[in-house]
Amino acid sequence: MIGRMPAYRLLIAAFVVLTAAGVACRNAGSAQPDLNAGTFLTNANDTLLRLGIESSQAGWVQNTYITPDTEAMSARASEAYMTAATNFSKQATQYDAATVSDVERRQLTVLKSALTMAAPADPKEAAELAQLVASMEGMYGRGKFCQDGESGEACLDIEEITEILANDRNPARLREVWEGWHSIAPPMKQNYARFVELSNKGARELGFADTGAMWRSKYDMPADAFSRELDRLWGQLQPLYLSLHAYVRAKLRDRYGDQVPSDGPIPAHLLGNLWAQDWSNVYDVVGPPGGAKTISLTDVLRTRKITPVEMTRFGERFFTSLGFEPLPPTFWERSLFVNPRDREVVCHASAWNINSVDDLRFKMCIDQTEEDFTTIHHELGHNFYSRAYAMQPPIFRDSANDGFHEAIGDTIALSVTPEYLGKAGLVENAPPESADVGLLLRTALQRLAFLPFGLVVDSWRWQVFSGQVPPDQYNRVWWDLRERYQGVRPASVRGEEYFDPGAKYHIPANTPYARYFLASVLQFQFHRALTKAAGCTAALHRCSIYGNGEAGKRLKATLEMGASRPWPDALEALTGQREMDASAMADYYAPLKTWLDEQNKGRPVGW
Ligand SMILES: [Zn+2]
């Protein structure tokens, strides 16, 4: 679910990165000094709500009925929205010194920090910037690996390459497709360097030191304090990561021999994923002997012929068991649950709130699998969040910070435990505790292995935006960071003729990435607090908040705040803590850490 472009966030900046073309010509940003803040904000709220609804409607039709026409209509609607959002952001700076109420000040702050890219005032430069981002996204979207003499259908696209990295166990083939995918990026490098110059210019016009500083300003704390905050959180989890890394490295060495060093970084192409950000695909290689003896929910869903709509009903019952209102009838009439046979749709799961109040929908091509069962709970988390903050003014209809929206859905997914499946009537007996290590290892390969990559992407970008890393050091610093944080290295020497950061979607698409790290940390902090409120005294990974009104009340209070308060207030309402705290994730995986350290006896740890 990481990397998903959340469709529920039509308001504010999420769309700015998608359709940068509109920044160009209507970049008015003109001052309206005679307008008082209240009038300005009323206009901003009304306009963004109206354009957001139009953009949602067009986007929904385009996603569920792909044709050139629906694509054009959707692009027009999101361009209109994005242009307005950009202008309001710029105009909000006019009120920096004005005397306004607390609520108005908060709305102005949220508006100002909403942009992920600020176009320079010079229309020519603004147009060039929009063009650069569109062309980099196009290069990424069209990216293919063509072997000698191949063209068209014979070339491998990202889905096929992903498939090979997940399932193929021939290291030569893995290296070949890994290098093949990274060959799409060098043509972007020059564009990226120019994009950095121009977007920094825009950010400086808004009063930020550079684009990276603008991104870090969204977190209700000084930009530098935010980077230190990330380092602090990582420090809480690094020992756990080192244990996992040492264990996985040894298992890969058993499989691949000397290609994997006994005490150095792991070759990045052997971890089952293009960016080594999710290692769950190599569970078959690194899992405990005999595999985890766990129930197969997939088998249960198939044998009992539980339909996609019924699977979704299970998700809804999770939320109503916490005290949330059932989903409106229109959710069941208007959502897309299966891949239709008669037309093209975007199958990538997403959650929507079309009218920004209660026209909730989701869109997913549901298979009867355990993975999709979990994803349903995750997506419904977005839906219930967006309905909970619908009574806020439109500018506040968003999560407390950008880590919260993803974290809420995943918090619920953490409560989809074997015990919950028992209570929900899906399995007869929950598996014994002896199966826990297998279960924990499987999720750690996904959630824990992700963390250092979640830091690398923006650590690199912040240094690039600040000018600390010039273009002739782009690739070296990228791999320095990946080695330092993740403990991985490339299969071969990667000089400055390559542009390996560009082979990750969020770089050409200019989507901030720290939010995914935050979401990973926050979901465990939420889970620990809610299960405690629910009175669960078992190990964290065995606790579920299903059916607990007390946990539900806390969750609801937080969701209803939306973005109306600085995020520490929302965090406190949910957890009683005002600081993010990664110790909950360490607690959750404590039994796994004990097991890993046992396995690692006599092995080198670290690199
Ligand atoms: Zn999501």
Element (DSSP H or E) covering residue 362? strand 360-363
Cα dihedral sign for 26, 30, 34, 36?
A: positive
Tell me which residues of the chain have a pLDDT lower than 50. Answer: 1-31
| Tokens matching residue 34 | 């005679």
Give the separation between CA 331 and CA 326, rounded to whole angstroms: 10
What is the reported pLDDT for 468? 98
Cα dihedral sign for 52, 54, 55, 59?
A: positive
What is the reported pLDDT for 292? 54
Cα 10 to middle of ligand 1, angstroms: 14
3-state SS string for 462-506: HHHHCCCCCHHHHHHHHHHHHHHHHCEECCCCCCCCCCHHHHCCC
Give the separation between CA 180 and CA 404, rounded to whole angstroms: 35
Q: Identify the CA nearest to 414 among candidates 393, 390, 444, 385.
A: 444
User: Would you please indicate which residues are annotated as catalytic (active-site) residues?
Assistant: 348-349, 378-379, 382, 406, 506, 516
What is the reported pLDDT for 291? 57
Cα 310 to middle of ligand 1, angstroms: 21
Give the separation between CA 92 and CA 108, rounded to whole angstroms: 6
What is the reported pLDDT for 451? 97
What is the reported pLDDT for 425? 87
What is the reported pLDDT for 293? 53
Helices (H), 170-304: 171-182, 189-205, 211-216, 223-256, 283-286, 297-303
| Tokens matching residue 326 | 């059932």
Q: Which residues pair with 353 in a beta bridge?
A: 360
Cα 409 to middle of ligand 1, angstroms: 7
Output b/e per residue, 533-543; b: 16+ Cβ within 10 A. Answer: bbebeeebbbb
Cα 150 to middle of ligand 1, angstroms: 37
Q: Identify the CA nearest to 454 among candidates 375, 527, 507, 520.
A: 520
> pLDDT of 31-54, one tens digit each?
455 579 999 999 999 999 999 999
What is the reported pLDDT for 294? 60
Give the separation between CA 31 and CA 361, rounded to whole angstroms: 38
344: left (phi over 0), alpha (psi -120 to 50) or beta: beta
Give the separation between CA 384 and CA 405, rounded to whole angstroms: 10
Give the separation between CA 474 and CA 472, rounded to whole angstroms: 6
What is the reported pLDDT for 11? 35
What is the reported pLDDT for 271? 98
What is the reported pLDDT for 30? 46
Cα 213 to middle of ligand 1, angstroms: 25
Cα 532 to middle of ligand 1, angstroms: 25
Please count the residues of the chain: 607
> pLDDT of 382-438, one tens digit each?
999 999 999 999 999 999 999 999 899 899 999 999 889 888 888 877 777 778 898
